[in-house]
Amino acid sequence: MPLTHAFFAVIRRDLILALRRRSEIANPLLFFVLVITLFPLGIGARPQLLQTIAPGIIWVAALLAAMLSLDSLFRSDFDDGSLEQMLLSQHPVSVLILGKIIAHWLVTGLPLLVIAPLLAIFLGMSVHSLGILLLTLLLGTPVLSLIGAIGVALTVGLRRGGMILSLLVLPLYVPVLIFAGNAVAMAGNGLPVGAQINILTAMLFMALALAPWPTAAALKMSMSQ
């Protein structure tokens, strides 16, 4: 099988499996919605404050939802032996891993982009900053999946790796959170956000180019233990 066919076959397989296990799609999305809708209840009827902190609320909720879905990236394949077969494949493991990460983002990250505008309007975010919010989510959520894949690969062989995974990936998520939240906040104030968008774009391309290699190496280490 050519490499491109194998790459798209991995994406297709993971999407089919995710549709059969709909909780993997519903749980992060439901968590994302609940976290955002609970903030107005905790803060009270203060629309100005909600509008000010809305970018941070949405991005923190998106980050936590991404972390919630990370464990499903390699866990089922590790348990049923599919991951071992992938590592023994004649194709470059990093390319196949990239296919799995893309499928994971399509299942968990893309739904966040769909529901985010409604939640942003719910928090009183201006229409002008809504487009920047979607752009930052489009650029930033794949970075979360790519970085998170490295942490999952390092902890997939551990029975209780959730806490270790959080400690590994949270510090690496902070730059994405800072630049994305700042871009949306500055757009709401009518300020230019080109620098932040360029940095997020650079992060995305760097993660796409670099993350699959350490992920593949970490999976080989986890499987050899």
Nearest to 59 by CA among 45, 39, 76: 39
Contact 59, 184 (CB under 8 A): yes
What confidence score (pLDDT) does residue 225 get?
Answer: 60
The pTM of this model reads 0.89
Q: What percent of the chain has pLDDT over 90?
A: 30
What confidence score (pLDDT) does residue 180 get?
Answer: 93
Average pLDDT over residues 128-143: 92
| Range in 63-77, 143-157, 191-205 the model is least confident about | 63-77
Task: Find the domain containing 78 and state its range.
Answer: 3-224
The four Cα atoms 198, 199, 205, 211 give a dihedral, to 10 degrees, of: -170
- Please tell me the distance from the alpha carbon of residue 65 to that of residue 59, in angstroms, as a whole number: 10
Domain count, the chain: 1
- Please tell me the distance from the alpha carbon of residue 177 to that of residue 84, in angstroms, as a whole number: 34
Tokens describing residue 138: 């489009």
- Quick one: three-class SS letters along 33-55? HHHHHHHHHHHCCCHHHHHHHHH
Radius of gyration (C-alpha) of the chain in whole angstroms: 18
Tell me the pLDDT tens digit for each residue of 22-69: 777 788 889 999 989 888 888 776 778 888 888 888 999 999 998 888
Tell the residue number behind the tokens 């902190």, with chain if given: 53
pLDDT at 145 over 70: yes
163 against 153, higher pLDDT: 153
The four Cα atoms 12, 13, 14, 17 give a dihedral, to 10 degrees, of: 120
Average pLDDT over residues 204-212: 92
What confidence score (pLDDT) does residue 102 get?
Answer: 93
Nearest to 218 by CA among 168, 160, 166: 168
Average pLDDT over residues 68-97: 82
Could you give the residue ranges of the DSSP H alpha helices within the chain?
3-20, 23-43, 47-70, 75-80, 82-87, 93-108, 110-122, 127-155, 162-188, 194-210, 212-224
In angstroms, the Cα distances linking 182 to 115, 129, 188, 192, 194 are: 21, 11, 10, 11, 11
Question: 83: Cβ–Cβ under 8 A, 6 or more apart, which residues?
Answer: 74, 77, 156, 219, 223
